[in-house]
């Protein structure tokens, strides 16, 4: 974690100036990882854009032969799309939320329904009885997708903790026992589905089949996501070594 909070209050503890100097040295030695982290933390939009560009260049240089052959002269555009989705996947957290596409962020949807326009009058069976009138009208109903919130959270069922209750072990031991959440693999949030990137690539390469994507493109896409994590870890190691 990059912070200017000193680990101790002794006279030899790091000052804000020391941290900024170390930060500059870290940028010189691990620029990719620092930029990726700053963009991920929402500190710098410029670093986010620079990281995506560098990731796209890395993707173009390391693209497998079958991927390059399938992309052809659209390789640069395809790699930029993969880089954008890979970085979004890397930067995702349990606090992320996106606008609900079903209600466009309104929390309600418009549907046709039979609406009573006049309740009628008189007793049924009498000569003065008038039946109620109904008309089809657009009415607003709570969006069933986002439950009226207008946005969809990336948080998993484990409430972002990455842990869930192990029912069997809890019964055996008589105390609450937790285990890693199997739905999110202990991340605490849902990953961006690779099928979204596949759809975007499919618009550039209509002949791309599901089997080709799963066999050639998807492993490379996962490699780009891992690249961001690796570079962030490298930047963290460099920063720790400088400030040690």
- Exposure string for 148-169, b = 16+ CB within 10 A, e = fewer: eebebebbbebebebebeeeee
Residue 182, domain member (yes or no): no
Question: Does 87 share its domain with 117?
Answer: no
Give the residue from 217, 193, 219, 189 showing the smallest Cα distance to 70.
217
* 174, part of any domain: no
The mean pLDDT value of the chain amounts to 85
Domain CATH for 23: 1.10.274.110
Look at residue 193 in the predicted model and tell me its pLDDT: 83
Contacts of 40 (CB under 8 A, 6+ apart): 48, 90, 91, 232
As for how many domains the chain has, the answer is 2
Note whether 81 and 195 are same-domain residues: yes
Residues 137 and 111: their CA atoms lie apart, in Å, by: 8
Q: Which domain holds residue 119?
A: 97-153
Specify whether 121 is located in the same domain as 82.
Answer: no
Do 27 and 144 reside in the same domain of the chain? no
Q: Do the domain assignments include residue 11?
A: no
Question: What percent of the chain lies above the pLDDT cut of 70?
Answer: 94
Digit-coded pLDDT (tens) for 53-72: 999 999 999 999 999 999 99
In a domain, 132, yes or no: yes
pLDDT in tens, 18-35: 777 877 787 788 889 889
- Give 102-154 pLDDT, tens digit per residue: 888 888 888 888 888 888 787 777 777 788 888 888 888 888 888 888 888 88
Q: How many CA atoms lie within 13 A of 22 on its CB side?
A: 19
| 205 and 84 fall within a common domain | yes
Residue range 201-225, pLDDT digits in tens:
999 999 999 999 999 999 999 999 9
């Amino acid at each position: 974690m990059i912070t200017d909070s000193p680990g101790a209050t002794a006279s030899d503890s790091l000052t804000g100036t020391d941290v900024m100097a170390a930060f500059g040295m870290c940028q010189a030695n691990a620029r990719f990882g620092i930029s990726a982290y700053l963009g991920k933390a929402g500190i710098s939009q410029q670093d986010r854009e620079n990281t995506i560009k560098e990731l796209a260049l890395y993707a173009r240089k390391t693209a497998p032969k079958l991927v390059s052959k399938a992309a052809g002269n659209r390789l640069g555009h395809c790699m930029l799309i993969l880089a954008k989705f890979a970085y979004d996947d890397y930067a995702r957290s349990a606090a992320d939320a996106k606008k609900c596409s079903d209600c466009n962020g309104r929390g309600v949807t418009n549907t046709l329904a039979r609406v009573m326009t006049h309740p009628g009058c008189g007793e049924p069976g009498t000569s003065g009885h008038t039946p109620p009138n109904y008309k089809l009208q657009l009415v607003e109903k709570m969006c069933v997708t986002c439950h009226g919130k207008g946005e969809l959270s990336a948080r998993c069922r484990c409430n972002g903790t990455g842990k869930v209750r192990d029912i069997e072990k809890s019964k055996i031991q008589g105390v609450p026992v937790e285990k890693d959440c199997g739905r999110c693999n202990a991340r605490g949030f849902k990953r961006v589905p690779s099928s979204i990137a596949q759809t975007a690539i499919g618009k550039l390469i209509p002949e791309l089949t599901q089997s080709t994507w799963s066999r050639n493109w998807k492993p490379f896409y996962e490699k780009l996501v891992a690249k961001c994590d690796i570079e962030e870890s490298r930047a963290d190691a460099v920063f720790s070594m400088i400030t040690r």
